[in-house]
Amino acid sequence: MPPVIGVFDSGFGGLTVLHELLRVLPEADYLYFGDTAHLPYGAKSAHTVAKYALSSTRFLEERGAEMLVIACNTATALALDEIRAGSSIPVTGVIEPGAERVAEISRAKRAAVIATEATVASHAYQKALTARGITAIEKACPLFVPLVEEGWVEHPVTEQVAHIYLDEIFQKEAHGADVLMLACTHYPLLRTVLRRVSPPEIQIVDSAESTANQVAALVQPCKQRCTSPQSGRLSCFATDSVEKFRHLGERFLGRPLEHVELIDIET
């Protein structure tokens, strides 16, 4: 039987992680949970984030998840230890896989990290990269998330904003860096724009892609027990408007979301 992988996020962004998981492990069954009733997590305390995340992960376990992917940077940064302590299945976050990939490819041992304000404030990526001998220069890019959710991934305004953010970081604080770490699950949708406005020598690392590759490596033995080469099943759950989830989610996942179930984890 194929593995059942639960993917948790505060909203839609984690669907970019699911997109990469579907690419490398198409035969797995997936349970995606978006806690849209409580987003954004970035404005909440670590205690509150952990409470919401634990309720969601218990729901995924009850639905049969055999492995859990925390596709939310804020939840990974603020509550990964609590989630692991409260879960009976293996848990993977998005920070360590991304940091590991940066350490593998950076020759300058210097990287720029762009993320939301909450993730930057946690310094989780900086700590993970420093532990691997990489100097990390973090920068919050708060306008990227609303631009992505507006669907302006190739809009001239988005490219202008990207220039302002990246010109500042690469010409000043991160001068000499050779890697750009995309430390928000919304940012992969802007990869083409970010590639255009980044210096040509910069390599881009996507935490969603790195996380999916790590999960694939962990469940490789499961491939031998799969009896069918067919794609697995996908079930999606949200804690608020399923119509909004379906509409925005299709942008992140890159395919239609035919069925999303509304769930109340507080009852």
Mind telling me the catalytic residues? 72, 184
Instruction: Please tell me whether residue 260 adopts helix, strand or coil conformation.
Output: strand
Q: State residue 193 phi and psi, 5-degree precision.
A: -65, -45
Q: How far apart are CA 1 and CA 29, in angstroms?
A: 10
Helix axes 73-86, 46-62, angle to 10 degrees: 60
Residue 179's H or E segment, with its range, is strand 179-182
Tokens 């349970």, residue? 31
DSSP symbols for 190-256: GHHHHHHHS-TT-EEEEHHHHHHHHHHHHTHHHHHH----S---EEEEESS-HHHHHHHHHHHHSS-
Which of the 8 DSSP states describes residue 75? H
Strand-by-strand arrangement of the 91-92 sheet: 91-92, 67-70, 4-9, 29-34, 234-238, 260-262
